[in-house]
Amino acid sequence: MDPLAALGVVVQVLTALAIIFAAWQLLFHSRAMHREFELLYVQRYWELMDRRTAKFAIGDGTHHSDRLVIRAYFQLCEDEADLRRIGRVTDNTWTFWRGAMVSQASTAAYRHELDRLDASAYPQLRAILADPEGRRKGPLAWGWLRRKLHGL
């Protein structure tokens, strides 16, 4: 083989490897950005939980201020579902958040407060609670390849 042709092949292989490496870095960077963004919502969750009264935190009833925390939690769930719908929450995080929503919003105090509200309030949370096993398609309608390309 001609040395110039061999050099051309080596350069092409190195270029292909560089492109693959750059694409991998972009996916890694995208996933890291998702994680940082998700952390903001985890912090928001714990700020809400810290606002609960001690009585409510140990499961011994609610105070009026706890109802405000519960409604803020419902809004947080709606916000998280919206973020999932637009592809800002990773698959792993969504699986965890969705399970936590079902678990927490199914407790007596949360169910009671949700039942007190108009049936049109918090539609995404209601859809999640109506499908506790997650058998129906969730808020994100993207296929597997598109999710992976976006670091989800």
Tens-digit pLDDT profile for residues 18-74: 788 777 776 666 777 778 889 999 999 999 999 999 888 888 788 888 999 999 999
Nearest-5° Cα angle at 138, 82 to 104? 75
Label residue 114 by pLDDT band (50, 70, 90). very high
Residues of the chain with pLDDT > 70, as a percent, come to 97
Which residue, chain included where needed, has tokens 């992976």?
A: 148
Q: Write down the pLDDT at residue 111.
A: 94
Q: Is the pLDDT of residue 75 over 90?
A: yes
| For the chain, counts of helices (H) and of strands (E) | 7, 0
pLDDT confidence band for 123 (50 / 70 / 90): very high
Instruction: State the chain's mean pLDDT as an integer.
Output: 87
pLDDT of amino acid 29: 65
Copy the structure tokens of residue 129: 């609670």
